[in-house]
Structure 1
Amino acid sequence: MIATPFFAIEQALRTVPFSMSADHVHQAHEIYYLLAGERYYYINQRVYALQKGDLIWISKHDFHRTSNKGSDSHERILINFDEAFVASSTPVTPSVVQSRPLLPEKSFLLRPSAQEQRKLEHLFQQMLDEYHQEHAYRHMYLQSLLLQLLIRIGRIQSTAPDTIAPERSEQQQRVYSVIEYLHAHYAEKLSLEQLAGHFYISSTYLCRIFKQTTGFTLVEYLQDVRVQQARAYLKETNWKVTAIAEKTGFDSIAHFGRVFKHFTGHTPLQYRKAHKKE
């Protein structure tokens, strides 16, 4: 059976603090555009500070999440789509258009000019209007609008001297070092006191700068890393759940089950049944 090409767009305004409880990954590409406010965007162990008019391209399979920055209020547009939606609308292979990929493999942050923002927002509005109607040729029209958007993103990227780099203050650099350590040592029995001692800082200061930088508490982040790895083991191996709990650093099967269900909404066995590779 051939899967139906997937495309979705939504606009959301939030007037109260909002942070995702865990980072997540899609099988589709994602475009995030900030219409108003400020946000922190966490992608693959790095934090980006977004301001009004910024656009984030999140490549499929990249873990990501958003969290509060500055004002509690923000408004954004979110688009998700797969390659099939683009490929079915053009005879040109979507991965190679001239010298620049139409669907970039790596995630990045763009900061368009005011003129470019107006053009992008006009395209977004057309897409939103069409998406919520049942006009004739709706599918084809959305494809054409998405292609225009991808081309415009590519042109902005080609004229920009560099994409916007992740945040790199001294505090954030220290947190990145902690993050890298957690990814390397998640299977070990880690404690806050041990981590603070390893990085020669107080546990109180470590907790504060980690939360400010990532939006996670340190414990939440470590649990998230462990659950990500447990997901991979459940999909790719036949190891028993008790073995996976041990290999991902959980102190008991009961604790593993509670944390795994909190992050995924499923028990480990339910997750394996739904995602096990043939």
Structure 2
Amino acid sequence: MVHVPMLSVEKMKRTGSFDMDFSHMHDTYEIYYLLSGERFYYIHDRVYALQAGDVVFIHKNQLHRTTSKGRNPHERILINFDDASVRPFVEMGPGQLPLFGGESYLLRPSVQEQGRIADLLFLMLREEKEGQLWRMPYLQTLLIQLLILLSRIREGKAEPVKPEFTEPQQRVYRIVEYLNGHYAGPLRLEEIAERFFISTTYLCRIFKQTTGFTVVEYLTYVRVREAQALLVRTDWKITKIAEEAGFDSIAHFGRVFKKITGRSPLQYRKQKKAEPANA
């Protein structure tokens, strides 16, 4: 089967306060470049305060969400791409491409580095808009240049950008770690709040403020992510996978899984097992 590359690039400007109205987890990689303004970005179980010029690299199936930081306008460029977009370059090169180590992270480039990144991004935007002959191969070559540039910038940074660490945020980080380790069992808001010596109202408020997710949303996405891994790694029946991932009924599992991934569990398994090895 021939896998057509999926590569898109878009620029968007928003005025005033704006929070993503849906949770984000997908089978593609994502590069988020903040052209102007400020944002909070939940990534890899931590919250980061983004400033203009920051770049976020999101690995596949990694929960992430942006929320407002004040009421100021912001402008960003967003790239989404899959393994097929970079596979030809990997096959002709020395091995795995930079930035594909299985993690997501934030970069804070220098002013000079921001200029080089912006040049590549605006070339990609122009190519996407004009749609000329050989559009996709040209976009792919620009993407590879961008990935290599980001990798070099990352290697040259002495210290990573630190996440936010207010007292409520630290409390939420501990709750997130607990949910990540106990998603397979039955979890109730009251029990979670009691374990961390807070009220359910306060739990819900600080969790939403910190991550952008409700507790139930977050738990559901963690369970779906685990189910995705089990569908690919094992030949277990769907009922066993639903149980192992923490769903209390196969019907609920099927509905939620399709809503988030756009495919049924069986369709997801069939598609993933038919794909070539990841780039």
| TM-score grouping bracket, smaller chain normalisation | 0.7 to 0.9
Moved more, 208-217 or 78-87: 78-87
1:143 CA drift (Å): 4.5
Which deviations, in whole Å up to 9, do the C-alpha atoms of 1:9-48 show, x marking residues without a partner?
Answer: 222234463315233143x543210112333323332222
Return the alpha-carbon distance in structure 2 between the equivalents of residues 249 and 133 of structure 1: 47
| Mapped contact 2:23–2:65 kept (Cα < 8 A) | no
Return the alpha-carbon distance in structure 1 between the equivalents of residues 115 and 13 of structure 2: 19
Relative distance call for 1:243 and 1:107 in structure 2 (3 A) is closer
Moved more, 223-232 or 243-252: 243-252
Match of 1:178 in 2: 175
Match of 1:24 in 2: 25
1:213 CA drift (Å): 1.0
Return the alpha-carbon distance in structure 2 between the equivalents of residues 265 and 219 of structure 1: 20
Normalising by the residue count of structure 1, what TM-score does the alignment of the two structures yield? Answer: 0.81
Relative distance call for 1:273 and 1:144 in structure 2 (3 A) is closer
Match of 1:113 in 2: 110
Which deviations, in whole Å up to 9, do the C-alpha atoms of 1:127-175 show, x marking residues without a partner?
Answer: 2112322445645543443344334323433443222122222222211
1:180 CA drift (Å): 1.3
Which deviations, in whole Å up to 9, do the C-alpha atoms of 1:188-242 show, x marking residues without a partner?
Answer: 1111111111112222111111111110111111111112222333344444433
1:53 CA drift (Å): 1.5
Residue identity opposite 1:11 in structure 2:
K
Identity %: 51
Match of 2:62 in 1: 63
Alignment RMSD (CA, Å): 3.1
Match of 1:79 in 2: 79
What's the secondary structure of 1:132's corresponding residue? helix
Relative distance call for 1:150 and 1:209 in structure 2 (3 A) is same
Residue identity opposite 2:25 in structure 1:
H
Match of 1:98 in 2: none
Return the alpha-carbon distance in structure 1 between the equivalents of residues 95 and 129 of structure 2: 26
| Mapped contact 1:172–1:213 kept (Cα < 8 A) | yes
| Alignment partner of 1:211 is 2:203 | no
Moved more, 74-83 or 203-212: 74-83
Structure 1 unaligned blocks of 5 or more = 96-100
1:120 CA drift (Å): 2.2
Higher RCO, 1 vs 2 (CA within 8 Å, ≥6 residues apart) = 2
Match of 1:260 in 2: 257
| Mapped contact 2:62–2:104 kept (Cα < 8 A) | no
Return the alpha-carbon distance in structure 2 between the equivalents of residues 203 and 130 of structure 1: 50
Aligned pairs for 1:162-173 (under 5 A) are 162-173=159-170
| Alignment partner of 1:9 is 2:1 | no
| Mapped contact 1:33–1:53 kept (Cα < 8 A) | yes
Relative distance call for 1:267 and 1:87 in structure 2 (3 A) is closer
Return the alpha-carbon distance in structure 1 between the equivalents of residues 261 and 82 of structure 2: 22
Structure 2 unaligned blocks of 5 or more = none
Relative distance call for 1:132 and 1:120 in structure 2 (3 A) is same
Residue identity opposite 1:128 in structure 2:
L
| Mapped contact 1:32–1:57 kept (Cα < 8 A) | yes
1:4 CA drift (Å): 4.7
Match of 2:225 in 1: 228
Moved more, 76-85 or 224-233: 76-85
Relative distance call for 1:89 and 1:179 in structure 2 (3 A) is closer
The one of 242, 245, 249 equivalent to 2:242 is 245
What's the secondary structure of 1:50's corresponding residue? strand
Return the alpha-carbon distance in structure 1 between the equivalents of residues 207 and 158 of structure 2: 31
1:2 CA drift (Å): 5.2
Normalising by the residue count of structure 2, what TM-score does the alignment of the two structures yield? Answer: 0.81
Match of 2:34 in 1: 34
